[in-house]
Structure 1
Amino acid sequence: MHSTRPFLRDLSDSRRKGWEDGLRDGYAEGYFRGQAKVIVERTKTSFPVRKIKVLYVSSGKGFPYSPIDEAIVETLKTLTASVITAETKEPIQKLAEKNRPDLVLALDGMDRPVEQIDAVRALGIKTAIWLTDDPYYTDMTKKIAPHYDYVFTLERNCIEVYRGLGCRNVYYLPFAAYVSHYRPTLTRSAINRKISFIGSAYWNRVEFLRPIIGGLMEKGLKINGLWWDRLPEYKQYPGGIEIGKWMGPIETSEVYSGTKIVINLHRSPFDETVNNNTAKIGALSPNPRTFEISASGTLQLVDSREDLSSFYKPGVEIETFSNSDELMEKVNYYLSHEKERQQIALRALERTFRDHTYNHRLNQLFGYIFK
Structure 2
Amino acid sequence: MEEQQPVNVNSLAAAVSYNRGRESGMHAGYEEGYFRGRANAIAARRGRAFPVRPLHILYVSSGKLYPYSPIDQAIIATLQDMVRQVTIADPRQQLADIAAQVKPDLVLALDGMEIPLHQVDDIRNKGIRTAVWLTDDPYYTDTTSQMAPHFDDIFTLEINCIDLYRQLGCSSVHYLPFAAYRGHYFPLTVPSVVRRDVNFTGSAYWSRVYFMNPIMPQLMSYNTGINGLWWDRIENYHQYASKIDVNKWHGPEDTNQLYNGSKIVINLHRSHLDESVNNNTILKIPAASPNPRCFEICAASAFQLTDARDNMASFYKPGEEIETYSTPQELIEKIEYYLTHDKERQEIALRGLERTLKEHTYAHRLHQMLSILFP
Q: Shorter-normalised TM-score: what interval?
A: over 0.9
Alignment match, 2:45: 42
- The DSSP-based 3-state class of the residue aligned with 2:241 is coil
**Structure 2 residue 125 is matched with structure 1 residue 122:** yes
1:3 corresponds in structure 2 to: none
Percent of counterpart pairs with the same letter? 55
Matched, 1:60 2:60: no
Task: Give the structure 2 partner of residue 5 of structure 1.
Answer: none
Equivalent in the alignment of 1:329: 333
| Alpha-carbon separation, structure 2, partners of 1:43 and 1:188 | 24
Superposed CA deviations along residues 92-150 of structure 1, whole A, max 9, x for unmatched, are: 11111111100000011111111111111111111100000000000000011001110
Aligned to 1:179: 182
2:4 aligned residue: none
Aligned match for 1:152, one of 155, 164, 167: 155
Write the mapping of 1:154-169 to structure 2, written as runs, cut at 5 A. Answer: 154-169=157-172
The corresponding residue for 2:24 is: 21
Per-residue CA deviations over 1:162-181 (Å, capped at 9, x if unaligned) read 00000000000000001100
Instruction: Write the distance in 1 (CA, Å) between the matches of 2:65 and 2:200.
Output: 23
CA separation in 2, counterparts of 1:11 and 1:264? Answer: 42
Give a deviation string over 1:163-219, Cα, whole Å, max 9, x none.
000000000000000110011111122221100000100001011111111111112
Instruction: Kindly provide the CA deviation profile for residues 287-323 of structure 1, in whole angstroms up to 9, marking residues without a partner as x.
Output: 0000011101111000000000110000000000000
Question: Which residue number in structure 1 is paired with residue 3 of structure 2?
Answer: none
Give aligned pairs, total: 363
Give 1:10 deviation, angstroms. Answer: 10
TM-score of the two chains, using structure 1 as the length reference: 0.96
Deviation at 1:353, TM superposition (A): 1.0
| 1:256 CA displacement | 0.5
The amino acid across from 1:76 in the alignment is: L
Residue of structure 2 in register with 1:32 after alignment: 35
Structure 1 residue 238: deviation in Å?
2.5
State the AA in 2 paired with 1:231.
I
What residue identity is the alignment partner of 1:250? E
Per the alignment, in what secondary structure is the counterpart of residue 167 of structure 1?
coil
Matching of residues 181-220 of structure 1 within 5 Å: 181-220=184-223
Task: Name the residue aligned to 1:291.
Answer: 295
Deviation, structure 1 residue 15: 1.7
- Displacement of 1:63 in angstroms is 2.0
1:53 aligned counterpart, secondary structure = strand
Which of residues 355, 358, 366 in structure 2 aligns to 1:354? 358
Q: Give the distance between the partners of 1:358 and 1:352, measured in 2 at CA.
A: 10
- Normalised by the length of structure 2, the TM-score is 0.95
Query: Which structure would you say has the larger Rg?
Result: 2
**SS of corresponding position for 2:124:** helix
Query: Could you tell me how far apart the structure 2 residues matched to 1:274 and 1:10 are?
Result: 58
1:220 Cα deviation (Å)? 1.7
Tell whether 2:369 aligns with 1:365. yes
TM superposition outliers: structure 1 runs of 4+ over 3 Å: none
Q: Partners of 1:158 and 1:87 in 2: how far apart?
A: 26
Is the counterpart of residue 282 in structure 1 residue 291 in structure 2? Answer: no
- 1:327 alignment partner AA: L
- Contact 2:111/2:134 (<8 A) preserved: yes
Report the alpha carbon displacement of residue 239 of structure 1 after superposing the two structures with TM: 2.0
Q: What amino acid maps onto 1:277 in structure 2? A: N
Asked if 2 retains the 8 angstrom alpha-carbon contact of 1:43 and 1:353, the reply is no
Gaps of at least 5 residues in structure 2 are: 1-11
Corresponding position of 1:110:
113
